[in-house]
Structure formats: C-alpha cells, structure tokens
Amino acid sequence: MPPANPEPWQQGQVARGTFPTVRLRRLRQNPLVRQLVQETRLHPRDLVLPMFVRSGVNLRHPIPSMPGHFQYSLDTFEQEIRTNFAARLGGILLFGVPAYKDNTGKEALSDEGIIQRAVRVAKQAAPNLMIITDVCLCEYMEHGHCGVVVKSPGGKYEVDNDASLDLLAREAVSHARSGADMVAPSAMMDGQVGAIRTALDQANFSHVPIMSYAAKYASAFYGPFREAAQSTPQFGDRRSYQMDPAGRAAEAMREIELDLAEGADIIMVKPALAYLDIVRQAADRFPQVPLAAYNVSGEYAMIKAAAAQGWIDERATAFETLTAIRRAGASIILTYWARDVLRWMS
C-alpha cells in the first residue's frame, strides 16, 4: 500500500543527475573532503630549483629582478644546499656565470669551469641531491648567443648551428665527468640532443639522461634570467633558433618528436604559464615520456612584484600557478619557487 504522504523521490518527481539531487558543493564545503578528492597535488620532489653560481669567495650577490635569488660563489653555494634543502627537492638546475667570456666558449668546456666545480662541490655537500646542468654557450660567449657566431656572405652575424654541436657535446661530457646526474641542453640547435647523446655514450656516460629543452620559445619572459646569468645578446636576438611564440603548436610537437628520436629521456616546455596549451598537448601526445615545464624568471618576477605592492597574495598565487602547470600535464616543474614551497609545506 503506498504511503499516505509520499516523498518527492517516491513520486518520481526528482530528475536524477540534476539539482537538487546533485550538489557539487558537497565535495567542496568540508576542507577534509576537498583534500581527499584533490586530483592535482604538489610535492617538493616534483620541483627543480634553478641556481646561479659564479667565481669569487663569500659572494651571495642579490639578483634585483628576482627577489630571493642570488649569484653564489662556490663556498656560499655549498652552504646553501647543505643547510637549506639538501635532498628534499627533486633537484637543482645549475647555471654558471664565468670569470671571463670569449668567442670560443672555452670555460664552458673546461673541467675547471664554474659549473664543473659547482657540480663537484654539490655532490660532496649533498650526495643525494639531483644535480642537473644547463648545457648552453650563451653565458660563456662575449656576444651572448647560444652557439658559434659567424659572418654570413651578406655581412650579417648568424649562429652557425652545425659548428655549435661539437662544443655543446664537449660541454655535456665535461659536466658528466664532473658528476652531473643529468644534462639539459637549452641552445635550441638542430641536432644538439643527438650530438650530446653520441658524445656521452662514447665517453662511457650512457647512464646519464638528457632533459631536453625541446619546445623553447623566444619569450619576453626571460628578462630577469638574462640579468641573473649575464647572458643578454650583444646584438640581434634569439628568434632565429628559439621558437616563435606565434608559431604553430604542431611545430612544438615536431621538435619534441625529433629530440626523442635523437635520444632525449625527458622533454621540456619553456616557458610554462603562457604555453600551458603546449604542455597539455605534449602530455597527451607523449604520455610515455616524463614531461617538464619551466616556470621562468619573468613569471616569477611578476608575482613577486605584485605581491610586494600588496596587490596579490604571494603564497596563494605561487601555489595556484604551480598547480596549474601540474594539472596541464607536467610531472616535473622547474621553478624559482621551489625553495619557498619547501618552507611553506613544512
């Protein structure tokens, strides 16, 4: 016998799959439930901190456009990694500011170069910390470009792609010989990954992986980095070898495919925030390959500057930024926030 006063659901009056049966706020109202159902999570082990080392003693030179970051001499660099984060991060990415520059990239290739010495210091101070080295020539060349510069028949100076490959390969081998756990070529020269893979294998470093800056754009977001690495081009720009921000997304996928064919183990998209569409496409197209995204200096500096004015909450904005990069598909994030995340999470 039916009830005298049936409930709406007993009368078939509630449409399943719609309000009020479905209330998505049920999964948001309680913070414990929100945490339980989160899909995108950040962990310090997912983060790599870029750091800058230079010649000298007892130097901790502030980088004005990147508050909280410094150029370290080797002694202060050792103290920093030993005391502040040791092996709790996914790793550090090293950039060198050499004592002198020339037009041959000599110090980039030397086993006594600033990066090579920094790797040895880091491995002694924190043996379990992942050390990744940037493999490029811009910091070491007087002209500030990422390869060998030659004068074309038309009188213009151009970066000679093929002449640069041998130098990049020798630089990578020198980093590996010094103890680098991974090398990261960033010059955007065609064939650089293949040249480096061959050189590493021939030098008995077949176990050293390559994290390729596979889709690196000629971005306006690199300004603070160029101050930090003292690598601003002295003429022209890098648009002839870095990717056009307005170029086709398919070109980025082709760059990634070529680097993987040449032996890249990890692929990277740089910058991250303005190119989250590229990160997502790369994650979907190459799900079998670890994907990194570089949250670059300009992205960091904008948040820092706005926070300094009191316009935004620095911590909340940084976490939201990194979460967005993670959600787009990056399993590794290179970010200047890594040290802060360690502090905030602890």
What stretches of 69-191 show up as alpha helix (H) in DSSP? 74-80, 106-109, 114-125, 161-178
Q: Which of 142, 102, 153, 143 lies closest to 235, judged by CA?
A: 143
Element counts in the chain: helices (H) and strands (E): 12, 12
Active site annotation includes 270: yes
Q: From the candidates 106, 123, 216, 304, which is the catalytic residue?
A: 216
Q: Which of 330, 146, 127 lies closest to 238, judged by CA?
A: 146
Query: How, if at all, do strands 131-135 and 211-216 pair?
Result: unpaired
> Which amino acid does the sequence have at 104?
T
Active site annotation includes 156: no
Q: Which of 62, 130, 90 lies closest to 322, judged by CA?
A: 90
Q: From the candidates 123, 151, 270, 304, which is the catalytic residue?
A: 270
CA separation for the pair 316, 36 (Å, rounded): 20
> Which amino acid does the sequence have at 26?
R
Catalytic residues: 216, 270
